[in-house]
Amino acid sequence: MTQDVRAKKALSILKKAYPQADCALSHKNPVQLLVATILSAQCTDKRVNMVTPSLFRKYRSAKGFADAVPGELEREIRSTGFFRQKARWIRAAAAKLVSDWGGGVPRTMEDLLELPGVARKTANVVLGTGFGISSGIVVDTHVKRVAKRLGLTRRTDPVKVEEDLVKVVPKKDWIWFSHAVITHGRLLCSALNPKCFKCPMNSFCPASEA
């Protein structure tokens, strides 16, 4: 079975299983989404969502984050892991938003990648969820794992995985597809002990066949 055929089968099933899949990070505006996505590195969305309510009450804008006292911000986000580095990224990214974008968030991949702490995954989340712009496919650990098991890619580098996925997933589905695969990875296709017996894609999944 070719990658194209397998991708079409997977898309059909994912659309039935997760038609309303959306970003799991709680946020009310693009600045909050950017901060939450930076915090999600090496951390679960569930944990991030436990931290951000009080964080967003305390820091209400890009300027608020830019002016944050480093030690106080670190304490607020400590439970997300790598908190010192994340605090530096958030403050520096927020400062650039203030200086270059009037406190707003840019709407192009090129501009977002200029922000400290932002790589393609974060930029794709912000553009897709924050602005509805299909710039690419978010490749986190779940997407990378599920895509490889389904035979949609053989590569492991997130940028290369994204290159493979955008060739077989229609652009109109890019934003939704990321969230659907992430949901599937959490619910069924987990890293350890995947529930292949429950998976609606097990009839054509190479990993299940193995």
* CATH code of the domain containing 104: 1.10.340.30
Return the number of other C-beta atoms located less than 10 Å from residue 47's C-beta: 14
Same domain, 12 and 52: no
Same domain, 149 and 116: no
* Packing angle of the helix pair 70-77, 45-58 (nearest 10 deg): 140
Decide: 87 and 70 in contact? Cβ < 8 Å: yes
Tell me the C-alpha to C-alpha distance, in Å, between residue 200 and each of 15, 33, 55, 102, 154.
Answer: 12, 32, 39, 47, 22
Render 58-99 in DSSP notation, one character per residue.
Answer: H--SHHHHHT--HHHHHHHHGGGSSHHHHHHHHHHHHHHHHH
Model pTM? 0.94
The amino acid sitting at 28 is: K
Q: Which residues are catalytic?
A: 121, 140
Residue indicated by tokens 């569930």: 46
Same domain, 107 and 144: no
The SS3 call for residue 20 is coil
* CATH code of the domain containing 193: 1.10.1670.10
Same domain, 50 and 96: yes
Tell me the C-alpha to C-alpha distance, in Å, between residue 40 and each of 3, 65, 161.
Answer: 30, 17, 20
What is the distance between the alpha carbons of residues 46 and 52, in angstroms, rounded to a whole number?
A: 10
pLDDT (tens place) for every residue of the chain, 210 residues total: 888 999 999 999 999 999 999 999 999 999 999 999 999 999 999 999 999 999 999 999 999 999 999 999 999 999 999 999 999 999 999 999 999 999 999 999 999 999 999 999 999 999 999 999 999 999 999 999 999 999 999 999 999 999 999 999 999 999 999 999 999 999 999 999 999 999 999 999 999 865
Look up the domain containing 109 and give its range: 30-131
Q: Tokens representing 195?
A: 């529930």
3-state helix, strand, coil in the chain (%, to 5): 65, 0, 35
Q: Tokens representing 30?
A: 């693009």
Same domain, 41 and 99: yes
Same domain, 62 and 45: yes
What is the distance between the alpha carbons of residues 15 and 176, in angstroms, rounded to a whole number?
A: 9
Tell me the C-alpha to C-alpha distance, in Å, between residue 46 and each of 80, 108, 186.
Answer: 10, 28, 11
